[in-house]
C-alpha cells in the first residue's frame, strides 16, 4: 500500500492548531495517522513520555541541605499505542509499520538492517528533544475495550541516547538569591551574632597567647 509521508513543517504544532500531528507519528521512516488528512488514517498516543536527569543528591553531614551533582541525561522508556479501526489501517500497519519495527541480532535475518535505532517524529517527542528510540517490546494487536471494531497495538520503546565523548558531570548553581547556604527555622538576631563573633575573637586571642 502506497502511503503519503506525513509532512511536519514549521509553525505551531499545538493540539489545537495542528491536531493531526498529535494523532500521527513517523517512526523508522514510516508514517501512521491523520497528519495530512489523507491515506488510511489511524491514530497514535504517546504514554508516560518524560525527560529524565541523573542527579546524585548527598545529604550534608550535621547540617541542613545537600550536595547535588548532575550526572547527565537518563534515557527514558515509554509506550506508543497505535489505534486501528479499518481494514486499510490494519493492512498499512501490518504491511508497512510492523516490518519497520521488527529486528534481529542474527545476521541474514528477515530484517537485514539488524539492531538499530529508529528516528521518530511526534510533537510529544519534539517538545522534549527526543529524536531516536530502540524498540523494547511489541505487543500483539488486540481489541480495544471502548467498543467493537477498535483495535490497538502497544509498542514499548526506550530512548536511544549514546554516551557523549565528554564528561557531563556538573554541580548545579543555585537560583538567583538562593546561592548561599541557608538554614531553616528561626534565625539568630544581630545582637546574638555580634556576641558570638566577640566570643570567637576572644577565644582566638587567648589561643594565640595574647
Mean pLDDT of 40-49: 93
pLDDT tens sequence across 79-133:
999 999 999 999 999 999 999 999 876 655 555 556 789 999 999 999 999 999 9
pTM value is 0.73
Q: Is residue 11 part of a domain?
A: no
- Quick count: other Cβ atoms within 10 Å of Cβ 28? 19
**CATH code (residue 36):** 2.40.30.200
Instruction: Please tell me the predicted confidence (pLDDT) of residue 35.
Output: 64
Q: Residue 84's domain spans which residues?
A: 19-163
pLDDT tens sequence across 167-210:
878 888 877 665 555 544 445 556 656 777 777 777 777 777 76
* Distance of alpha carbon 68 from alpha carbon 179, whole angstroms: 13
Q: Name 95's Cβ contacts closer than 8 Å, sequence gap at least 6.
A: 1
b vs e for 144-177, b when ≥16 Cβ sit within 10 Å of the residue's Cβ?
A: eeeeeeebbbbbbbebbbeeeeeeeeeeeeeeee
Of 42, 118, 50, the closest CA to residue 82 belongs to 42
Q: Is residue 210 part of a domain?
A: no
Q: Is residue 37 part of a domain?
A: yes
Domain count of the fold of the chain: 1
Q: Is residue 172 part of a domain?
A: no
Amino acid at each position: 500500500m502506497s502511503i503519503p509521508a506525513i509532512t511536519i513543517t514549521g509553525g505551531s504544532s499545538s493540539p489545537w492548531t495542528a491536531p493531526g500531528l498529535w494523532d500521527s507519528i513517523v517512526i523508522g521512516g514510516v508514517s501512521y495517522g491523520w497528519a495530512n488528512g489523507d491515506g488510511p488514517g489511524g491514530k497514535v498516543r504517546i504514554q508516560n513520555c518524560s525527560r529524565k536527569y541523573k542527579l546524585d543528591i548527598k545529604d550534608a553531614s550535621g547540617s541542613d541541605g545537600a550536595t547535588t551533582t548532575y550526572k547527565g541525561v537518563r534515557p527514558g522508556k515509554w509506550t506508543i499505542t497505535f489505534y486501528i479501526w479499518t481494514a486499510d489501517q490494519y493492512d498499512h500497519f501490518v504491511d508497512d509499520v510492523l516490518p519497520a519495527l521488527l529486528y534481529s541480532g542474527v545476521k541474514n535475518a528477515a530484517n537485514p538492517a539488524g539492531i538499530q535505532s529508529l528516528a521518530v517524529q511526534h510533537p510529544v517527542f519534539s517538545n522534549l528533544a527526543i529524536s531516536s528510540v530502540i524498540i523494547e517490546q511489541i505487543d500483539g494487536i488486540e481489541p480495544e475495550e471502548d467498543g467493537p471494531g477498535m483495535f490497538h497495538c502497544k509498542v514499548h520503546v526506550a530512548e536511544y541516547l549514546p554516551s557523549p565523548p565528554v564528561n557531563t558531570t556538573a554541580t548545579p548553581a543555585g537560583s538567583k538569591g538562593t546561592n548561599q547556604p541557608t538554614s531553616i527555622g528561626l534565625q539568630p538576631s544581630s545582637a546574638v551574632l555580634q556576641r558570638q563573633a566577640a566570643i570567637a575573637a576572644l577565644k582566638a586571642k587567648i589561643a594565640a597567647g595574647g
